[in-house]
A and B are shown apart, each in its own frame.
Chain A
């Protein structure tokens, strides 16, 4: 089954304790992205990756890191989480982006993070 998986699904942590949210896709997609969803703000892009070893900042990258060492995996790292990073996080993947190439994104089930 084609899917995007995220772990953990729920996480409660304390300020400053480093954490990693994993994301994996089994569709051989080149493009992967991380979003956060907050009420009334829709989806905001944190980071994205066009391919292995190619990552770039989205709209709200502060406080986050990513890496893309393998095509299937795109972990999100919070080095020192703060309460304002409490949110619902989604990983997504799609086929390549390009001029006149607009493929739909496949989303993971989400990770609900609470930072106290």
Chain B
């Protein structure tokens, strides 16, 4: 069965420091991995995705994510956090063999000035 885990409900980071939001997954076959962000009172917005190729994927707003096949992880990173990055972040995964997208429970990212 497919699953995705975001082990931290909340991540607190000081502005200017690097941030990491963790995501691990379990699928049969090759994974397609996504990160989305939800700002307060807004719908979700796509940040980045990994389909194939380079393990380091760059996305919107300076975010990037690294696909690690051996650790089945797809952690979201940013070198220098901004207060405006404070939001709810969702990881999602599907296998290349089916169409169902599985979502993590979300991680609340709080960036303090």
Nearest residue, chain A, Cβ from B43? A107
Partner of A42, one of B41, B45, B103: B103
Q: Judge whether B8 is part of the interface by a CB distance below 8 angstroms.
A: no
Q: Which of A29-84 contact B (CB under 8 A)?
A: 40-45, 50
Q: A43: which B residues are within 8 A, CB to CB?
A: 44, 90, 92, 103
Q: A105: which B residues are within 8 A, CB to CB?
A: 36, 44, 46, 101
Q: Which of B33-58 contact A (CB under 8 A)?
A: 34, 36, 41-46, 49, 51-52
- Inter-chain residue pair count (beta carbon < 8 A): 51
CB distance from A78 to the nearest CB of B (A): 20
Q: Does B99 contact A97, Cβ atoms closer than 8 Å?
A: yes
Q: B42: which A residues are within 8 A, CB to CB?
A: 109-110
Q: Does B49 contact A104, Cβ atoms closer than 8 Å?
A: yes
CA of A39 to CA of B52, assembled, Å: 32
Which B residues fall within an 8 A CB radius of A? 9, 32, 34, 36, 41-46, 49, 51-52, 90, 92, 94, 96-97, 99-101, 103-106
In the A-B complex, list the 10 residue pairs whose CB atoms are closest, starting with the nearest. Answer: A107-B43, A104-B46, A102-B32, A42-B105, A43-B103, A107-B44, A42-B103, A97-B99, A109-B43, A102-B51
Which A residues fall within an 8 A CB radius of B? 4, 40-45, 50, 90, 92, 97-100, 102, 104-110
